[in-house]
Chain A
């Protein structure tokens, strides 16, 4: 944080006094739509804000994109897959509805949230233990997006699901318990011998993640010192830390350390398991009684002064056989114990208020701080934690309050970011003083206000954005536009975006007819808590399934190579904006990986190596979802003709198919 730019140094002196004046801490108001000269351009409110700025800078009003471009953009945007069979008769808005209703929508947008939730199927760090139940949280997130769960409810469930009423509804209770997996998903130093440090590190990770994820604030800094830039005090930090100290995330902080998992079994299953336990116990008692009796017989026989070390060796043959049978039965019973489903998550622990620790050192404890929230975001009448519970529910309510100026702005900005590849606030995880200012502050507020009015519905927000001229504009621009808005800061043209790792793989599987689009569930057969990847540096995880990429295991410290190559985020930390890089290793992947080669081969077989222009046109439709232009057919034909003397028609066709997959049009969205 340091190496402070001069801009910041100049402002540092007044931050502590006036930090609360920062734009992001001000109440959300709903600005009126700005006036624009070009009355025909705007399709909805969003466009007024965008056009007003364009006009102010003399940037020409952007042109709309072609329909086929929009179809492709829309389909990837909402489902992460290319368009399939959308007919020209259906309007774009109808297509929006179809896609929003598709279960693939939740897979796409759930994955966005999983980036923020640092989702992983293993713990990482020294002891990379399997999170074999993490997928339940993943499915919960996907389902929440598909159901269009109000975002304030989504937030509350993840922070305090275990404390919500369920009226005896088992499914609801389980969902709420699974939701709290958000708090437990972070990497933990399971090898840490110092229990106090281990616990405080986990609490810190929770506070830092939820601060960035929901509030756009880096609260972790305040563990050791007053936040250097944001008005977050040490007292604020320990008020929050007390809430998580009063929460149980770990079942055991002692070696062997274990994270907590909540049982999500039905009462019937639990009862069955309990009954089974009594059977095991009864069998154990039986064996003990049997041994005691036979031992007494041994002693009474007078052959031994005291009981020999292994008395069973001295039992008569028949008795030994009887004992063996009893032991075998016990083993069978133990092995047939019904497995109870469980999910990573938290529960309330002993209610505790923490002392402020200067520099984060337990030796430098100051005054005890009552559990509470951030003083800079004072929400009138917010209920504060009491002595009866950890205070997570109060925290969640405080965060999800329509009066909290950050929560709605942060999520609205994230959704915008995921639609446009950049946020109105370019630093989606940091709305603090060091974050970038919004390019269109009024638009951000207008969207946030609409979002709250609309009951925190993400799908309504999508409709609003997708039905705007802003989202529907073309990516090509006149030179005048480029001159006046070189970095496209003002939305003078649609951004060109590379599709993500998951979309690349899913599309290749789809166009080669291999994809398995079944939904949800665990795809990874691995024993819970077993080390995935340790000592040997060998990871036996197989990625050899044709399910959508969302369902491939995310192994910390050893992310799947395709994902690594194409900017999948480091699952150790939350990340709201993925990088988008271009490297030569990506090129090698597209040239030589079996995924791409097999896709090209399937396409060639599918087209029976039809080197005619008709075959080329079909190939264009399969890969780019558009017809080939005359010129392109010509280029394709001459390429195939010239390609290697001895190649079969199918091989020529395969080579062309691969060229198209490697080309920019496949990997970029216009």
Chain B
């Protein structure tokens, strides 16, 4: 039988049978689990479906374009001695190079021009670039992973890969998987909300696939919260139509639909009546959410004055906290412009100014409100950048090409160990290395995992794990095949978990 129809039916059956549980509204995956009868529903799983969840929600700060790990997080002082010299062949070790630098005669080593300082954390400390002064103040909360890696080398496949587990378009996004697996905790807002933060270097397009539902029903796709015009497409009533008018119309509609229901005895018809009510509620819940008028001045001291301007990264971070407070499970902020091929000094400086204070404020704010412990915050992009220069190498400015073999991300809260670093790279930040600096060549492998590394499938498996989901068990059947976010791969990186 048709997967989608079946799914809808299961969901509706569950709703009809159980009404609203501690989990909130419908969770489609749960219906499947319950049919298998191998799980007990209830608060003891803290919202999880396979095991007890450590995190109730995720806030994912996505740096689209590939931030330079070498200029932000991965401190490589030894590169100075190799300044301008060709990257040794044995370091490159056959790595594919993009079309943009493959015609360069040399690959000159390009150390970071930025000053790094060692910040205290709960372990041996962590080096942070001067570009991130605010983030440097919350290092005791961060788990900085230096060994994230991927295979994709171009933006579109890479960002599609990290967001959906496949380089080929068509799969559901991480957020859609969470919506499918966990449902919603809120009746007035969507379960998966996406924001696009303004950037001065808005390169690399963003598109619906990245928060889309792929082959899943579209109720699982992210809803875009916009900073200009209607915050949600078609949210606002047209000029002259009041809320009372709307109520009257919806009541009439409801009466009509109920009369028709006798003739349309079908669950999808019933669901549609509910969605009109939800839409009506969103018309007031979304403006209430977006109205920062009741935030005290201290909020803007924390997030910075930028947070008063809609659409800035800081404003998005503040919205993220407000969404989290209102029970939205899954929040993702996309910030573009990290693709620094030629003018890294110019661009990364601005990029960091955009995101630094907001990210740090979000951590502090969540912590103060006691929400950090059950909110998983993730910061990162789709790949890293090369230690060799693309284009002209200058002391003050340079460019870096895409680099999939290693890059840095950080995670905080949600049951992740605070104040640690994880994994290390070689002296060039080119390869993942063991503690002695020997090159490791980890591959995504369903049976083997290389300690100290975090493939993007491992990252996704770990995120799901913290939300109480076993990435191997959360499957969606489509065209006869059981799909997973992590395909056949993924290992939960338990080393970084509390």
Question: Contact at B279–A588, with CB atoms within 8 Å?
Answer: yes
Q: Which residues of A contact B99 (CB under 8 A)?
A: 191-193, 255
Question: Contact at A582–B271, with CB atoms within 8 Å?
Answer: yes
B155 lies within 8 A of chain A by Cβ: yes
B269 lies within 8 A of chain A by Cβ: yes
A90 lies within 8 A of chain B by Cβ: no
Question: Contact at A189–B157, with CB atoms within 8 Å?
Answer: yes
Q: Which residues of B contact A476 (CB under 8 A)?
A: 263, 265
Question: Contact at B263–A670, with CB atoms within 8 Å?
Answer: yes
Number of A interface residues in the complex (CB < 8 A): 87
Encode A29-62 as 1/0 by CB contact (under 8 A) with B: 0000000000000000000000000000000000
Expressed in whole angstroms, the Cα–Cα distance for A303 and B212 within the complex equals: 71
Shortest Cβ distance from residue B24 to the other chain A in the assembled complex, whole angstroms: 15
Shortest Cβ distance from residue B412 to the other chain A in the assembled complex, whole angstroms: 28
User: Which stretch (A384-392, A406-414, A509-517, A659-667) binds chain B?
Assistant: A659-667
Q: Which residues of B contact A602 (CB under 8 A)?
A: none
Expressed in whole angstroms, the Cα–Cα distance for A42 and B491 within the complex equals: 57
A313 lies within 8 A of chain B by Cβ: no
Question: Contact at A570–B209, with CB atoms within 8 Å?
Answer: yes
Expressed in whole angstroms, the Cα–Cα distance for A597 and B236 within the complex equals: 13
Residue in A3, A193, A534 whose beta carbon sits within 8 Å of that of B98 in the complex: A193
Expressed in whole angstroms, the Cα–Cα distance for A644 and B235 within the complex equals: 21
Q: Which residues of B contact A3 (CB under 8 A)?
A: 472-473, 475, 482, 484
Q: Which residues of B contact A567 (CB under 8 A)?
A: 218
Question: Contact at B249–A583, with CB atoms within 8 Å?
Answer: no
B245 lies within 8 A of chain A by Cβ: yes
Expressed in whole angstroms, the Cα–Cα distance for A643 and B266 within the complex equals: 30
Encode B238-255 as 1/0 by CB contact (under 8 A) with A: 100010111011001101
A610 lies within 8 A of chain B by Cβ: no
Residue of B nearest to A228 (CB): B481
Residue in A422, A592, A658, A659 whose beta carbon sits within 8 Å of that of B2 in the complex: A422
Expressed in whole angstroms, the Cα–Cα distance for A533 and B205 within the complex equals: 7
Expressed in whole angstroms, the Cα–Cα distance for A477 and B263 within the complex equals: 10
Instruction: Known A536-B202, A570-B169, A664-B257; judge A193-B96 contact (CB<8 A).
Output: yes
B296 lies within 8 A of chain A by Cβ: no
Expressed in whole angstroms, the Cα–Cα distance for A424 and B273 within the complex equals: 30
Question: Contact at A668–B218, with CB atoms within 8 Å?
Answer: no
Shortest Cβ distance from residue B491 to the other chain A in the assembled complex, whole angstroms: 14
Encode B275-307 as 1/0 by CB contact (under 8 A) with A: 110111011000000000000000000000000
Question: Contact at B479–A430, with CB atoms within 8 Å?
Answer: yes
Q: Which residues of A contact B216 (CB under 8 A)?
A: 579
User: Of A193, A487, A557, A579, which is in contact with the most chain B CB atoms at under 10 Å from its CB?
Assistant: A579
Question: Contact at B234–A665, with CB atoms within 8 Å?
Answer: no
Q: Which residues of A contact B77 (CB under 8 A)?
A: none
Residue of B nearest to A212 (CB): B479
Residue of B nearest to A636 (CB): B252
Question: Contact at B102–A659, with CB atoms within 8 Å?
Answer: no
Expressed in whole angstroms, the Cα–Cα distance for A588 and B278 within the complex equals: 9
B115 lies within 8 A of chain A by Cβ: no
Residue in B238, B248, B263 whose beta carbon sits within 8 Å of that of A639 in the complex: B248
Shortest Cβ distance from residue B57 to the other chain A in the assembled complex, whole angstroms: 20
Shortest Cβ distance from residue B234 to the other chain A in the assembled complex, whole angstroms: 4
Residue of B nearest to A591 (CB): B279
A436 lies within 8 A of chain B by Cβ: yes
Expressed in whole angstroms, the Cα–Cα distance for A206 and B225 within the complex equals: 37
Q: Which residues of A contact B257 (CB under 8 A)?
A: 663-664
Shortest Cβ distance from residue B342 to the other chain A in the assembled complex, whole angstroms: 14
Question: Contact at B218–A592, with CB atoms within 8 Å?
Answer: no
Shortest Cβ distance from residue A212 to the other chain B in the assembled complex, whole angstroms: 8
Shortest Cβ distance from residue A594 to the other chain B in the assembled complex, whole angstroms: 8
A194 lies within 8 A of chain B by Cβ: yes
Question: Contact at B219–A583, with CB atoms within 8 Å?
Answer: yes
Question: Contact at A662–B253, with CB atoms within 8 Å?
Answer: yes
B82 lies within 8 A of chain A by Cβ: no
Question: Contact at B253–A582, with CB atoms within 8 Å?
Answer: no
Expressed in whole angstroms, the Cα–Cα distance for A588 and B235 within the complex equals: 6
Question: Contact at B260–A579, with CB atoms within 8 Å?
Answer: no
Question: Contact at A586–B275, with CB atoms within 8 Å?
Answer: yes
Residue in B190, B207, B236, B480 whose beta carbon sits within 8 Å of that of A584 in the complex: B190
Question: Contact at A582–B482, with CB atoms within 8 Å?
Answer: no
Residue of B nearest to A669 (CB): B264
Question: Contact at A427–B204, with CB atoms within 8 Å?
Answer: no
Shortest Cβ distance from residue A638 to the other chain B in the assembled complex, whole angstroms: 9
Q: Which residues of B contact A557 (CB under 8 A)?
A: 205, 207-209
Q: Which residues of A contact B268 (CB under 8 A)?
A: 496, 498, 580, 582, 668
Question: Contact at A192–B252, with CB atoms within 8 Å?
Answer: no
Residue in A436, A534, A558, A658 whose beta carbon sits within 8 Å of that of B1 in the complex: A436
Residue of B nearest to A69 (CB): B263
A345 lies within 8 A of chain B by Cβ: no
Instruction: Known A476-B265, A533-B205, A658-B249; judge A570-B481 contact (CB<8 A).
Output: no
Q: Which residues of A contact B154 (CB under 8 A)?
A: 126, 189, 191-192
Expressed in whole angstroms, the Cα–Cα distance for A128 and B272 within the complex equals: 35
B206 lies within 8 A of chain A by Cβ: yes
Shortest Cβ distance from residue B111 to the other chain A in the assembled complex, whole angstroms: 26
Shortest Cβ distance from residue B269 to the other chain A in the assembled complex, whole angstroms: 5
Expressed in whole angstroms, the Cα–Cα distance for A541 and B43 within the complex equals: 49
User: Of B206, B248, B283, which is in contact with the most chain A CB atoms at under 10 Å from its CB?
Assistant: B248
Subset of 15 A-B contacts with CB under 8 Å: A1-B488, A4-B482, A192-B99, A218-B481, A496-B264, A558-B208, A570-B170, A582-B268, A582-B272, A584-B275, A584-B276, A585-B223, A585-B279, A587-B279, A665-B264
14 additional A-B pairs beyond A429-B479, A536-B203, beta carbons within 8 Å, are A2-B487, A489-B1, A537-B207, A558-B205, A561-B233, A572-B209, A579-B215, A582-B268, A584-B282, A588-B232, A588-B283, A635-B256, A667-B272, A670-B263
B interface residues, Cβ below 8 angstroms from A: 1-6, 8-9, 96-99, 102, 154-157, 168-170, 190, 196, 202-209, 212, 214-219, 223, 230, 232-238, 242, 244-246, 248-249, 252-253, 255-257, 259-261, 263-266, 268-269, 271-273, 275-276, 278-280, 282-283, 336, 446, 472-473, 475, 479-484, 487-488
The 7 closest A-B pairs by CB, nearest first: A193-B99, A587-B279, A434-B480, A557-B207, A584-B278, A572-B169, A2-B488
